[in-house]
């Protein structure tokens, strides 16, 4: 994705063409650069759309998981079970302001 970081230089950059052949060559080079940049723009647009779709999927998944996490975190939902000796104790409810939860399984 570093192609936009530089501009291709012409072998000789004649701003004033001495003859018609030089003008045609310069015009062809400009047309190739324009075509390359249009292709790159199209590729980047496609990539942005894929990223936005993936972010939407993640947001929908979070939307389904948050109520489940809240529901399972309430103390009255589960029957009392004896605490396991080897399992570390974790808080049942997430503290306010938590924006990220890592599930380990």
**Unique residue bearing structure tokens 């996490």:** 69
List of residues 6+ apart from 61 with CB closer than 8 A: none
Position 17 confidence tier, pLDDT thresholds 50, 70, 90: confident
Residue 54: predicted pLDDT:
95
pLDDT digit string, tens, across residues 39-98: 999 999 999 999 999 999 999 999 888 888 887 776 655 555 555 555 555 555 666 666
Largest CA distance in the chain: 92
**12: pLDDT strictly greater than 60:** no
Residue 72: predicted pLDDT:
76
Residue 50: predicted pLDDT:
96
Please name which of 25, 30, 24, 35 lies closest in space to residue 9, comparing C-alpha atoms. Answer: 30
**1: pLDDT strictly greater than 60:** no
């Amino acid at each position: 994705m570093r192609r936009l970081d530089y501009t291709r230089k012409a072998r000789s950059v004649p701003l004033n063409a001495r003859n018609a052949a030089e003008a045609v060559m310069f015009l062809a080079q400009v047309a190739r650069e324009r075509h390359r940049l249009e292709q790159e723009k199209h590729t980047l647009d496609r990539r942005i759309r894929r990223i936005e779709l993936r972010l939407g999927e993640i947001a929908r998944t979070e939307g389904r998981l948050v109520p489940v996490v809240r529901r399972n975190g309430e103390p009255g939902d589960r029957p009392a079970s004896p605490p396991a000796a080897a399992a570390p104790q974790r808080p049942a409810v997430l503290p306010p302001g938590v924006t990220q939860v890592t599930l380990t399984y």
